[in-house]
Copies of this chain bind each other. A is one copy, B any other.
């Protein structure tokens, strides 16, 4: 067995509680004893057992992260969104001494039970959910369990009861579409992935809104959902076979963006000469892409950072008003778009 608080106490000729107080640097302990105890701890190689502390404190200083799953495994972790968000969460958690635990499940059901285990098992003090989607069981469970949590994305149900961090996706998509409209595009397509995620719905809405403002009516043929990379080919085919193919596309993920880029080339067309492309989420990928993709910077890292700030605040002050945070997103013009009017 490892050396415990008792061993230290004995060796230092003090009581265990004194040692405990030294550990938490209580100000009710004289500097002299602190020094003495710390020396003994050093000598004995003492280290606190966080498990035991967790048990008595009813807190583990750990945040659980519910990963976004998708039908298509590959798109999950590889999607740079997840990586960047976690970076942001990590950074803030580290500043506050919190550890991070992540779900390991791959299906919706597995992830749900991971969450139950973390929460009911008292492994975490709070949770961050990396997605918002319809008919999801995780958020209702967390509400029921009354554990601090923050959703990244816009919750679908019971929105007033949950704290969330999100971009204004409606606005962002509206901006992106308006950006293309300003460049005299009138036939603009929209490509999203899984429409059951709220984020896709919001972006679609923003896209429609921008068109509406220009008096352009909804055209379902210009809206497609790609659930796996293979579909990209078909979708582009369909677009191009239209009597009036789109001259520009708004695409809801960077990976899809580069995918579509490639398909366009396959068709012997060029970006931005033949088709302009604006994608959601500026990431390293959009930067290394050729051409660089004109992308909407959703400040993913910041999203994670703020989410972490949120949970930790909720943990410390449970009665905090659940003020949700909107992270601004703005378009960064790069090389994948052009104006139709080459004045």
Q: Which residues of A contact B (CB under 8 A)?
A: 2, 47-52, 54-55, 60, 62, 73-78, 80, 82-84, 86-87, 90-91, 93-94, 98-102, 104-106, 110, 114, 116-118, 120-123, 255, 258-259, 261-262, 265, 283-285, 288-290
Query: How many Å from the CB of A213 to the closest CB on chain B?
Result: 33
> In the complex, are the beta carbons of B99 and A100 less than 8 A apart?
no
Give the distance to chain B from A262, nearest Cβ to Cβ, in Å: 5
Residue from B51, B91, B255, B265 within 8 A of A60 (CB atoms): B51
Shortest Cβ gap from A261 to chain B (Å) = 7
Q: If A48-B121, A99-B123 touch, does A104 touch B84 (CB 8 Å cutoff)?
A: no
Nearest neighbor of A285 in chain B, beta-carbon distance:
B285
Give me the 6 closest cross-chain CB pairs, A-B, nearest first. A47-B120, A50-B121, A77-B83, A94-B104, A90-B104, A258-B288
Known: A82-B83, A106-B91. A261 touches B283 (CB 8 A): no
Q: How far is the CA of A262 from the CA of B2 in the complex (A)?
A: 55
Task: Write the nearest CB–CB distance from A127 to chain B, whole angstroms.
Answer: 14
Report how far A178 CA is from B101 CA in the complex, Å.
43
In this complex, what residue of B is CB-closest to A287? B229
Q: Judge whether A102 and B105 touch: CB under 8 Å.
A: no
Taking a contact as CB atoms under 8 Å apart, the answer to whether A87 and B94 are in contact is no
- On whether A104 and B98 interact (CB within 8 A), knowing A51-B60, A51-B121, A121-B50, the answer reads yes
Which B residues are CB-close (under 8 A) to A2?
120, 122
Query: Is there contact, CB below 8 Å, between B265 and A284?
Result: no
A288–B253 CA distance with the chains assembled, in angstroms: 13
Distance from A41 Cβ to chain B, minimum over Cβ atoms (Å): 12
Instruction: Tell me the minimal C-beta distance from A46 to chain B in angstroms.
Output: 9
Determine the chain B residues whose CB is within 8 A of the CB of A290 once the complex forms. 261-262, 265, 290
Specify which chain B residues have a CB less than 8 angstroms from the CB of A94 in the assembled complex. 104-106, 110, 114
CB within 8 Å for A87 and B76 given contacts A51-B54, A60-B51, A288-B262:
yes
Question: Which listed residue (B62, B73, B114) contacts A101, Cβ 8 A?
Answer: B62
The residues of B that contact A102 with a CB separation of less than 8 Å are 86, 90, 100-102
In the bound complex, CA of A110 to CA of B90 (Å): 12
CB distance from A64 to the nearest CB of B (A): 9
Q: In the bound complex, how far is the Cα of B121 from the Cα of A94, in angstroms?
A: 16
Residue in contact with A93 in the complex, picked from B75, B104, B259, B289, CB distance below 8 Å? B104
Q: How far is the CB of A65 from chain B (nearest CB, A)?
A: 9
A78 and B80: CB pair below 8 A? yes
Select from chain B the residue with minimum beta-carbon distance to A90: B104
In the bound assembly, the distance between CA atoms of A76 and B83 in angstroms comes to: 9
Contact B83 A78 (CB under 8 A): yes
Which residues of chain B have C-beta atoms less than 8 A from A83's C-beta? 77-78, 82-83
Give the docked Cα–Cα distance between A258 and B254 (Å).
Answer: 15
- Most central of A2, A50, A105 by chain B CB within 10 Å: A50
In the complex, the answer to whether B104 meets A118 with C-beta atoms within 8 Å is: no
Q: List 7 A-B contacts (CB under 8 A).
A: A48-B121, A49-B55, A50-B121, A51-B121, A55-B55, A62-B101, A83-B83
CA distance A230 to B55 in the complex (A): 49
Contacts of A98 in B (CB 8 A): 104
Q: Cβ of A104: which chain B residues have Cβ within 8 Å of it?
A: 90-91, 93-94, 98-100
